[in-house]
Structure 1
Amino acid sequence: MFSLKDKSAVVTGGGSGIGKAISKLFARQGASVHIVELNAEAAAQTVTEIEEEGNRAVAHSGNVAEQEQIVELFNSIGTIDILVNNAGIAHVGNVENTSTADFEKVYNVNVKGAYNCIFAAVPIMKATGGGVILNMASIASWVGLADRFAYSMSKGAIHAMSMSVARDYLHDNIRSNSISPARVHTPFVDGFIAKNYAGREDEMFDKLSKSQPIGRMAQPGEIAALALYLCSDEAGFITGCDYPIDGGFIKLNN
């Protein structure tokens, strides 16, 4: 089950965290994985790890915020059966202390970046009989998170775009869904804690872990497993859905 044999998968932001876990799992399941990453060194490291397991991957240096670059890159890849829009950045702040520059930066990467990749991938998928698009949203698209104004905006847009694409391309055999994780233990989280809570790292890690009712953060591999299912043929009846994977955050965090 859940084989991706002979599939071509594009994963943005595949050099670390959730994107890296998705890239490695998809490769293990037989896909040829194309990692689109701003950090060329991180992408190359993921490819090396995939190849050491005897699987196939290619690193592509690319900025998802640049549409012309992404269209050219996707066309050079050729067949794209699966697109995972995972690349994104975070931002801390409410509406009053979010500058125009910060707002636009988050928008350009998280919203425009996903749009650019969908814009580039859909014509390719239509020409080859269909495909799967999976976008990384967040629990921030479901609930209000303190001091996450710009980030929440971007993830709400991801959720809405996923549903719109699902509706528009039903008859082109293109499925579109999104995943909404709660906090995931990635190198970004460790870096964020070290930068903002020096000397209190253990305390803050414990506090952030317990903000999920289940009592811990998710592991990247757990998000990757859900991504694998939604991008596999076994999920062929699923489109236009968002899947919270949140340790009970949305429903149980009273």
Structure 2
Amino acid sequence: MSKLALVTGATSGIGKAFAERFAADGYDLIIVGRRQDRLAEFASGHPEVQVRTVAADLSTEDGINNLAQVCADEPLDMLVNNAGVSHYMPLADLPAEKARELVNVKVLAPTQFMRAAVGPMQQRGRGTILNVAGMIAFSGPADRTVMPRRAVYAGTLAYLVAMTQTLAAEVAGSGVTVGVVCPGVVATEFHSAQGLDLSAVPRMSAEDLVTGALRGLELGETVSAPGVADYQLLENLFTADLAAFGGQSPQLAARYAK
């Protein structure tokens, strides 16, 4: 029996590259995006596997709820939460509707899809959830000289990293794998759609990013970073996180006492 993968944001860039890889590996697919024409084009180009298309706007309540039901009902072997919007701008300049869209697409939607899929995966004793975040998740300590400023965008990616790490611990031993991949700059339409010209910036291909993400899962990396050669850098970060978490006390720290 063929395996089944669901990929959001599958009409271009990283999501399309994931869908292409899974089709090549013999997965049946549920591909999700806003543009029905692109979804149909992908489906017609892959007659070798079954491709179900779902046109959905994941910034809306209906779009999220409808796809969450699909995640609950279908026997998914792989769920890739890839859909995203950038909206790079300082918080004070970010229109309310764009802030809402960004949080819905990158926080609320993947949360609801994971919640819907993980229980059935545990019951079946197998399944993989892969979230697509970004290295910007680790950029919070950067000072104001690092541009463009993007507080909400960085926050949503950091949420995905912490959510993934915590969920991975929750499902340990159940046969379900949870991971998050953190791309750097990837050669897709993502930045150009926001009016950013990165043609002169070295960029990873979407295909290499997918290769790295899937290899990271094989290596047991809950957080993978295909552009980081020295994984010890991330290990050091996680160790420091746990040290800070474990270093708390019910007593007021001396530096805060008057």
- TM interval, shorter chain, is 0.7 to 0.9
Tell me: CA distance 1:24–1:109, structure 2 relative to 1, closer, same or farther (3 Å). Answer: same
Matched positions, count:
223
What is the Cα-based RMSD across aligned positions, in Å?
A: 2.4
**What's the counterpart of residue 170 of structure 2?**
168
Task: Give the Cα separation in 2 of the matches to 1:153 and 1:132.
Answer: 24
Identity %: 22
Tell me: CA distance 1:126–1:63, structure 2 relative to 1, closer, same or farther (3 Å). Answer: farther
Q: In the TM superposition, what are the counterparts of 1:1-254 in structure 2 within 5 Å?
A: 6-51=2-47, 54-65=48-59, 66=61, 67-76=64-73, 78-143=74-139, 144=142, 146=147, 147-192=149-194, 195=195, 204-206=198-200, 209=201, 216-230=202-216, 235=218, 238=220, 241-246=222-227
Matched-pair contact (CA < 8 Å) for 1:136–1:179: yes
| 1:162 aligned partner, one-letter code | T
| 2:111 aligned partner, one-letter code | Y
The Cα offsets for residues 114-162 of structure 1, whole Å up to 9 and x where unpaired, read as 1011011112212211211110010111124531211101100111111
Task: Give the Cα separation in 2 of the matches to 1:6 and 1:248.
Answer: 34
Q: Which runs of 4+ in 1 moved over 4 A?
A: 247-251
| 1:165 aligned partner, one-letter code | L
Matched-pair contact (CA < 8 Å) for 1:63–1:69: no
Q: CA deviation at 1:168?
A: 0.8
Matched-pair contact (CA < 8 Å) for 1:15–1:45: no
Task: Give the Cα separation in 2 of the matches to 1:88 and 1:128.
Answer: 29
Task: Give the Cα separation in 2 of the matches to 1:57 and 1:93.
Answer: 36
Task: Give the Cα separation in 2 of the matches to 1:174 and 1:64.
Answer: 25
Task: Give the Cα separation in 2 of the matches to 1:148 and 1:50.
Answer: 37
Matched-pair contact (CA < 8 Å) for 2:213–2:226: no
**What's the counterpart of residue 213 of structure 1?**
none
In structure 2, runs of 5+ residues without a counterpart are: 234-258
Q: CA deviation at 1:249?
A: 11
Tell me: CA distance 1:172–1:63, structure 2 relative to 1, closer, same or farther (3 Å). Answer: farther
Tell me: CA distance 1:7–1:230, structure 2 relative to 1, closer, same or farther (3 Å). Answer: farther
TM-score in terms of structure 2 length = 0.78
| 1:74 aligned partner, one-letter code | C
The Cα offsets for residues 168-207 of structure 1, whole Å up to 9 and x where unpaired, read as 1113221111111111111233343xx45xxxx5xx521x
Tell me: CA distance 1:96–1:249, structure 2 relative to 1, closer, same or farther (3 Å). Answer: farther
Task: Give the Cα separation in 1 of the matches to 2:56 and 2:130.
Answer: 19
In structure 1, runs of 5+ residues without a counterpart are: 210-215
Task: Give the Cα separation in 2 of the matches to 1:227 and 1:247.
Answer: 12
